[in-house]
Each structure stands twice: as structure tokens, then as C-alpha cells.
Copies of this chain bind each other. A is one copy, B any other.
Amino acid sequence: MKHSEGLEWAIHSCALLAMMPPGTPLPRRLLAEFFELPEPYLAKQLQKLSQAGIVETRRGPRGGYVLARKPEDITLLQMVEAIDGPDRHFVCTEIRRCGPTGVAGKHYTRPCGIARSMWKAEAAWRKELAATSLADIQHLGMAETPPEQTAKAIAWFQANLLQGETE
């Protein structure tokens, strides 16, 4: 019971896209290089973000990924569900119809106290995620990160984007 690593990568990618000046798509090659991640696998996560409508893609030269909406309009829940799916974590397998005593099956057809309690807790989790936007995450990060840090990262990307250009 832990989140996939791909989720971490996806959120980080979004956070990066959010801090780039608008109108500059980042190709996944640079994203992978920046984080030192395996590019083909990162591609999977970015595809999921794309399918979920969180990022937009530009194909061809000077293409890459851009946020589809403003950071304020992208919630943590949307990113999490894009990668991990919308399914509940606690699954009721009906555990052989809740006991062998025949009658059981008839009456336990609706979710019982166990499932509902677990799902209620998940709802609290989702609510918190839905209340957090990508912009909120940025602000939290800013409070701890010196501004020149952000500038350096942006500069790195712009330099590497240009490199492909001039050669």
C-alpha cells in the first residue's frame, strides 16, 4: 500500500511546467534529463496526464508539454487520479457473501459498516487533495526555496532548449 513512483514524477513534472514562463513547451527528453529519470517510463506518466487533460502536447520541433490550465485550476486530486486511477483503495470483495450462513448473502448485499467506514476516510483524503491546487503547492515550495533556485532551473531549461536550436 504505497503510491507508485510514477505519481511522484508526474506531480514534479507538473510543478516544473507551472513555474516555466507560459508558451514554452518542455519536451520529455529534457524533463527526464532534469530529474535523471528513465525517459520511456516517464513518457507513460506524461501520457496519462495528457489523457486526463491536465497537460497539453505540442508535437514536432519546439514541441513538448504545457499545462492545459492555470495552476490554480489544477488540483492535486486531478493529478493523483490521472496516474493512480479513480478507483477506491479499499475494495469489498464480498468475501464470499459475508459468511457461510446462507442468509447472509441476501442481507449483506449493500456496503456494510466496514466498507463505508473505510470509504468515508478515503473521502476525507480526496477532499483534502481536491482543496489543494498546483498553485498552492508552488506557494508552499516558494516559502522554503530561495528565488535564485527557481531562476537557475528555468535558465537550465532555456539553455538546453536553445542548444538544439543552434546546432
Contact = CB atoms under 8 A, between A and B. Distances in A.
A144 B107 contact: yes
A43 interface: no
A89 B2 contact: yes
Contact of A9 (B12, B85, B95, B148): B95
Interface in A140-167: 140-142, 144-146, 148-149, 152-153, 156
A34 interface: yes
Given A7-B90, A121-B125, A116 B104 contact: no
Contacts of A126: 121
B140 A76 contact: no
Given A7-B90, A122-B125, 12 more contacts: A2-B88, A3-B89, A3-B91, A3-B118, A34-B99, A35-B95, A37-B96, A103-B148, A104-B149, A118-B129, A120-B132, A121-B129
